[in-house]
Amino acid sequence: MNKITIAIDGYSSCGKSTLAKQLAKKLGYSYIDSGAMYRAVALWALENKAIENAVPDTEKIISNLDSIKIEFRFHPEIQASQTYLNGRNIEKEIRGMAVSEIVSKISSIKEVRQKMVALQRKFGEDKGVVMDGRDIGSVVFPNAELKLFMTADPAIRAQRRYDELKAKGTQVSMEEIAENLRLRDYEDTTRKENPLIKATDAVVLDNTHLTPEQQFSTAYKLAEEKLVAN
């Protein structure tokens, strides 16, 4: 059976990564977290003093892009891929609030997006990939056989994010999370370079009132239909 490309876009804390991982595992596909790639650049900027008062030093970041090496390595013991920056596992560091607060600013830099999109297309050139992000269906893989656009009520998204961080031992308030999501939504949808939009042929998946199982069932059925049609 021929393989397809599955592009999943949507707002922060809508469960894009969870669904993408589930689909990739079920189909035996590769999973690429495009958001982790921008988070890796954001972490590099933080660690290399290319951020001051939450404002990126665009010139410094751009001039160092060639030395920022991002890769995903599969770990059999956890049956998942993790993000590496210049050979170092950064999966934990990129999920914290410090990175979350600046990643939208980093991803708005034209040259950063150009490099990440080129890498993402290379990762998916043989199909058989599930990739999630903000512009996967609209820019990275405009010809993807299946495009999903995920959304949910902002209050539900904030609660999910709060529960996720709390489970990891991160001390953060609900108000801080809600404001972070509000700002990220604004920055993601209004940036000049490849803003978050729903591709015209994407299927909207509002999971406000869906369980993870219901969400997966719906998405997998759509994938099966595309596989048969392909």
pLDDT-derived band at 38 (thresholds 50, 70, 90) equals: very high
The model's pLDDT over 64-120, given as tens digits with 9 standing for 90+, comes to: 999 999 998 888 887 778 999 999 999 999 998 899 899 989 999 999 999 999 999
- Burial bucket for residue 187 (CB in 10 Å: 0-12, 13-18, 19+): middle
CB 132 within 8 A of CB 33: yes
Cα separation, 206 vs 219, whole angstroms: 11
The model's pLDDT over 185-218, given as tens digits with 9 standing for 90+, comes to: 999 999 888 899 999 999 999 999 999 999 999 9
Q: Mean pLDDT over all residues of the chain?
A: 93
Question: Domain holding 166: CATH number?
Answer: 3.40.50.300
Domain that holds residue 182: 5-229
Look at residue 41 in the predicted model and tell me its pLDDT.
Answer: 97
Number of domains the chain is built from? 1
What is the pLDDT averaged over residues 167-180?
Answer: 90
Going by C-alpha positions, the residue among 96, 212, 225 that lies closest to residue 165 is 96
Look at residue 76 in the predicted model and tell me its pLDDT.
Answer: 84
Residue 1 pLDDT > 70: no
Look at residue 75 in the predicted model and tell me its pLDDT.
Answer: 84
Residue 203 bridge partners (DSSP): 148
